[in-house]
Amino acid sequence: MFAMVLHEIGSPLAYEELPDPTPGPGELRVRVEACGVCRTDLHVVDGELPNPMLPIVPGHEIVGRIDALGAGVEALSIGLRVGIPWLGHACGTCAYCEDGRENLCDRPLFTGYTRNGGYATHAVADARFAFPLDDEGPAAPIAPLLCAGLIGWRSLGFAGDAKILGLYGFGAAAHIVAQAARKQGRTVFAFTRPGDAEAQAFALRLGAAWAGGSDEKPPEPLDAAIIYAPIGPLVPAALANIRKGGVVVCAGIHMSDIPSFPYSLLWEERRIVSVANLTRQDGLDFLGFAAHAGLETSITTYPLERANEALADLRAGRLQGAAVLIPPDVRS
């Protein structure tokens, strides 16, 4: 197989030919059709997440077709299209798993971080954490749903029944969540980098009722805000824009330090919460909703060997929507 491999934090990924991986008991192997490029991948390659497995093949928004099954896998079959997300394994026995909160598992594995991911022609996954997908249509538009969509969906749930929703950072996750929120009858206000007229126009095209810079006041107070940009100062900015009893949801796995702010911003039962990972039930719920609601993704595709370019474009904010890597047509 061919893969983009991270050998050292801060170094470019290397395009390499590797032995084809073999699925172990309870695992499957997919021939990758597409793999999304997520901001979490940046946090891995830039060293903002601690202790990655090195060397590591990044990527956790994987769409592929099963081409090998390990012992004991009976519910899935060769040729089936599946999606492989960030949470790649949960122990099933810790207190969190037993309580239905496998996203907080004490002994998890994460795709593209502590087990090899999808910046490759092939990937091995725990069969329990692979979601069957629709066989029809191209794979690339589906890939961002496997993390940007899934984490976005979980963060939308944390917003409760908020009718007026603010989204800070209008990238891969927010452009999917904005559509889902509109389908649910919510009003969406989009906050972008100050002066980013292109991103604001993009948000308006996707149904946002208002779009402006993160330094601007929305037309009316928010019931809830979801922060996708990994920028700590957005937390007090969002608190200043929500109603009494509102919630600020921090949806990223990494964020810069949150600066001090006056207690008055938090008083009157405003809340700050974080979102961690996902559960398999999140995946089933969201993928079903996405298919029924007809959610669409805006993507820019790159050949697998140009993964470093895709990461650089994401890091620099040059993308609208999501980047997706397409492997070469390499036969095993």
The reply to whether 106 and 159 lie within a common domain is no
The reply to whether 159 and 135 lie within a common domain is no
Q: Would you say residue 230 lies in a domain? A: yes
The reply to whether 263 and 189 lie within a common domain is yes
Q: Which residues contact 230 (CB under 8 A, 6 or more apart)?
A: 39, 43, 252, 254, 255, 256
> Over the stretch 160-208, which tens digit does the pLDDT of each residue have?
999 999 999 999 999 999 999 999 999 999 999 999 999 999 999 999 9
The reply to whether 184 and 56 lie within a common domain is no
The reply to whether 131 and 153 lie within a common domain is no
Alpha carbons 127 and 110: distance in angstroms, whole number: 14
> Over the stretch 59-72, which tens digit does the pLDDT of each residue have?
999 999 999 999 99
Give mean pLDDT, residues 247-270.
97
Q: Flag whether pLDDT at 125 surpasses 80.
A: yes
C-beta of residue 253 within 8 angstroms of C-beta of residue 274: no
Q: How confident is the model at residue 330 (pLDDT cuts 50, 70, 90)?
A: very low
Alpha carbons 183 and 291: distance in angstroms, whole number: 12
Give mean pLDDT, residues 110-137.
96
Tokens of 262: 């006056």
Q: How confident is the model at residue 332 (pLDDT cuts 50, 70, 90)?
A: very low
The reply to whether 7 and 118 lie within a common domain is yes
Lowest mean pLDDT among 81-90, 136-145, 321-330: 321-330
Of the chain, the percentage scoring pLDDT greater than 90 comes to: 97
Give mean pLDDT, residues 264-275.
98
Mean pLDDT of the chain: 96
Q: Would you say residue 254 lies in a domain? A: yes
Specify the residue for token string 């937390």.
235
Give mean pLDDT, residues 74-88.
96
Q: Flag whether pLDDT at 119 surpasses 90.
A: yes
Q: What is the CATH number of the domain that holds 251?
A: 3.40.50.720
pLDDT of 329 reads: 75
Q: How confident is the model at residue 11 (pLDDT cuts 50, 70, 90)?
A: very high
The reply to whether 107 and 164 lie within a common domain is no
CB environment 226-258: b (16+ within 10 A), e (fewer) = bbbbbbeebbbbbbbbbeeebbbbbbbbebeee
Q: Flag whether pLDDT at 158 surpasses 50.
A: yes
The reply to whether 181 and 224 lie within a common domain is yes
Instruction: Name the domain count of the chain.
Output: 2
> Over the stretch 17-43, which tens digit does the pLDDT of each residue have?
999 999 999 999 999 999 999 999 999
pLDDT of 331 reads: 34
**Domain with 75 in it:** 2-142+297-326
Q: Flag whether pLDDT at 226 surpasses 60.
A: yes
Q: Would you say residue 285 lies in a domain? A: no
Q: Flag whether pLDDT at 84 surpasses 90.
A: yes
C-beta of residue 151 within 8 angstroms of C-beta of residue 43: no
The reply to whether 163 and 103 lie within a common domain is no
The reply to whether 106 and 18 lie within a common domain is yes
The reply to whether 206 and 248 lie within a common domain is yes
